């Protein structure tokens, strides 16, 4: 079904939202590693990974070992947050995503059936995601929401075809625990039955903390994702985590986009 034939569910949901990137690539991590995907990256985050609080100036060094690889979505001390950002309605986002699908121009190519919603923190923009989820369902696509699990999802998002790649941040992020661990949000996402818990790991201490969080919240499907924006660092982190993951019944993913393209944006 053509994107322009799908009705807008509610005009109030058509407030423009800030979009850092829209692109077509592979899903680089997690259960859908290697699958073609249409990706939308929202601007803005409620955490400051690598720092205890948002830096006031660009020369402030990171305090944590788990660094954010998308600081350009929130760290205004180091980045011009207006650079390349567009304010689009949710329907405008959808239309651009469909135009990125190579099947739109070449019908002989299979349509992309996975949409990855990321950030920043995408659950800051739930009305827009709800619209994307409705459109995805109408076209036989699935949505993955990559979230830091600090915000409870709208119950309307707990529907077939929507999955959460939920990654609570660990002590190595330097973010205070009361900001990064929100029990109500974690329990709501776990109770949805639609969660994959994807933890970014940079130290051995991270692995111990993940085990503690699993016991505290009854987390089910756990994936470890290596921190790093270079192939060498990604492989080092994977080797560090592999034996621990096997011993605890966890899954281990890589960062395929980093292995292929390094730290390039929109890849």
Q: From the annotation, which residues make up the binding site for S-adenosyl-L-methionine? A: 120
User: Which stretch of DSSP H or E encloses residue 19?
Assistant: strand 17-26
List for the chain the helix, strand, coil content (%; round to 5): 40, 20, 45
Give the integer Cα–Cα distance in Å for 55 and 62: 9
Supply 173's token pair.
Answer: 């992020």
Annotated binding site: 26-28, 41, 45, 49, 68, 70, 118, 120
> What is d(CA 101, CA 135) in angstroms, rounded to the nearest whole number?
14
User: Residue positions in the annotated binding site for substrate?
Assistant: 26-28, 41, 118
Could you tell me where the DSSP H helices lie in the chain?
90-100, 102-105, 126-138, 177-180, 183-191, 204-217, 231-248, 256-261
Q: Which two tokens stand for residue 39?
A: 């990706």
Element (H, E) at 195: strand 195-201
- Which residue ranges are tagged as binding site for [4Fe-4S] cluster? 45, 49, 68
Tracing tokens 């699993």 back to the chain, one arrives at 214
Q: Which residues pair with 225 in a beta bridge?
A: 200
Q: Find the distance separating the first CA and the last CA of the chain, reported in whole Å.
A: 27
């Amino acid at each position: 079904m053509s994107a322009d034939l799908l009705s807008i569910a509610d005009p109030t949901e058509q407030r423009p939202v800030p979009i850092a990137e829209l692109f077509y690539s592979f899903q680089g991590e997690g259960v859908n590693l290697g699958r073609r995907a249409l990706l939308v990256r929202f601007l803005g985050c409620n955490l400051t990974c690598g720092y205890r609080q948002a830096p006031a100036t660009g020369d402030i060094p990171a305090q944590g070992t788990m660094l954010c690889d998308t600081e350009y979505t929130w760290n205004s001390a180091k980045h011009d947050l207006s650079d390349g950002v567009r304010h689009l309605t949710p329907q405008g986002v959808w239309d651009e995503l469909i135009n990125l699908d190579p099947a739109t121009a070449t019908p002989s190519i299979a349509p992309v059936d996975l949409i990855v919603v990321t950030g920043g923190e995408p659950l800051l923009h739930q009305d827009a995601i709800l619209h994307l989820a409705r459109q995805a369902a109408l076209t036989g696509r699935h949505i993955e929401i990559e979230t830091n699990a600090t915000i409870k999802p709208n119950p309307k998002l707990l529907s077939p075809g929507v999955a959460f790649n939920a990654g609570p941040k660990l002590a190595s992020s330097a973010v205070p625990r009361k900001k990064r661990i929100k029990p109500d949000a974690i329990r709501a996402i776990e109770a949805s039955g639609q969660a994959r818990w994807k933890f970014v790991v940079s130290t051995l201490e991270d692995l111990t903390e993940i085990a503690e969080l699993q016991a505290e919240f009854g987390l089910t499907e756990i994936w470890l994702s290596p921190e790093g924006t270079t192939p060498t660092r990604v492989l080092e982190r994977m080797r560090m985590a592999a034996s621990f993951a096997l011993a605890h019944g966890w899954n281990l993913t890589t960062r395929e986009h980093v292995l292929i393209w390094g730290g390039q944006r929109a890849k």
